[in-house]
Amino acid sequence: MNIDTPTLMNWITAALIATVFGALSALVAHYFQRQRDDVAWNREKEKMQRQTNNDLEKLHEEIRQELYKQRELVVRSEILPTLWKNLLNAISKVSVVTSAYRRDPDLNIWTDEAIRDFLKNSPLSDTHKKQLLEATDKTSFYRRTIYWYELDDARKDFGEFHNHWLYNKFYLGDELRARISEIDKYFSDWFIAVGVHHDYPAGTQRDLNQIDRSFHEKADLLMKEIEKLIQQDINS
């Protein structure tokens, strides 16, 4: 078959056009398929991201709940019992100082040997023990001296209660925190009033007794409220 040149060129041109058109069609199809794949992938990524965010939020909530439980456990098992114990110790030591029924021994009728035996279990320093043995009125010297030892002992126990309260007050409920703050102030006011009375002794023993009574009247009422609130928190 004889094919003239124009016909051959037409065939070649048609083939080229078909090839180019086919290639373009394939590229266009590939482009749109890629676009569809990208959209599907983006949707899948968004779905995965939402699931991850939900899982993280759930994990954060679980951790928060666990930390809250642990904090409550520490408050009930450690902070509150220690706070109550320290408060009782402080009240007890102040009661020793303020007691109107204390019975100190009449050392004036004791022998020096008996006094030395008595002082073996006394908190008095060696200097004060020596001064006591040399004092004319041993009973009066002992009462004045032991008072300051007991007052200092009460101040130390109050300091332990006060510091523990300051370190942990933010773990307590509002009502309990308010009551503890109130009794903490009563202690501070009492120590200041007693110190002023002794540093500037213009008042009488009756005035000191009134200071002591006023403290106990207010503190005793608060102690009942505090005990009730602590029991509620521990058993909640």
Quick check: is 52 in a domain? no
Quick check: is 18 in a domain? no
For the chain, the domain total comes to 1
198-to-37, 56, 76, 147 alpha-carbon distances in Å: 90, 64, 41, 12
Q: Identify residue 211 by its one-letter amino acid code.
A: I
Residue 114: count of CB within 10 angstroms of its CB? 12
From the number of C-beta atoms within 10 Å of its C-beta (0-12, 13-18, 19+), residue 98 rates as buried
Quick check: is 188 in a domain? yes
Question: What is the pLDDT at residue 67?
Answer: 46
The C-alpha atoms of residue 91 and residue 184 are separated, in whole angstroms, by: 11
The C-alpha atoms of residue 189 and residue 208 are separated, in whole angstroms, by: 13
Quick check: is 131 in a domain? yes
Among 138, 130, 133, 129, which residue's Cα sits nearest to residue 109?
A: 138
Quick check: is 207 in a domain? yes
CA angle 99–101–102, rounded 5-degree value: 75
Question: What is the pLDDT at residue 49?
Answer: 76
The C-alpha atoms of residue 231 and residue 236 are separated, in whole angstroms, by: 8
Quick check: is 48 in a domain? no
Among 183, 197, 199, 229, which residue's Cα sits nearest to residue 91?
A: 183
Question: What is the pLDDT at residue 202?
Answer: 59
The C-alpha atoms of residue 86 and residue 52 are separated, in whole angstroms, by: 48
105 with 118: CB under 8 angstroms?
yes
Quick check: is 58 in a domain? no
Give the structural domain span for 218.
72-235
Question: What is the pLDDT at residue 171?
Answer: 84
Question: What is the pLDDT at residue 33?
Answer: 65
**pLDDT tens digits along 21-74:** 666 666 656 666 666 666 666 676 677 777 777 766 765 665 555 545 555 655
139 with 110: CB under 8 angstroms?
no
In the three-class reduction of DSSP (H, G, I as helix; E, B as strand; rest coil), residue 151 is classed as helix
The C-alpha atoms of residue 215 and residue 99 are separated, in whole angstroms, by: 12
The C-alpha atoms of residue 97 and residue 77 are separated, in whole angstroms, by: 31
Question: What is the pLDDT at residue 169?
Answer: 87
The C-alpha atoms of residue 13 and residue 16 are separated, in whole angstroms, by: 5
Residue whose pair of structure tokens reads 């509002």 in the numeric block:
174
Is the entire prediction scored with pTM above 0.85?
no
Quick check: is 229 in a domain? yes
Sign of torsion over alpha carbons 26, 27, 28, 29: positive
Q: Name residues of the chain where pLDDT drops below 70.
A: 1-42, 44-45, 55-56, 58-77, 200-203
The C-alpha atoms of residue 105 and residue 87 are separated, in whole angstroms, by: 29
**Phi, psi for residue 122 in degrees, rounded to 5:** -95, 145
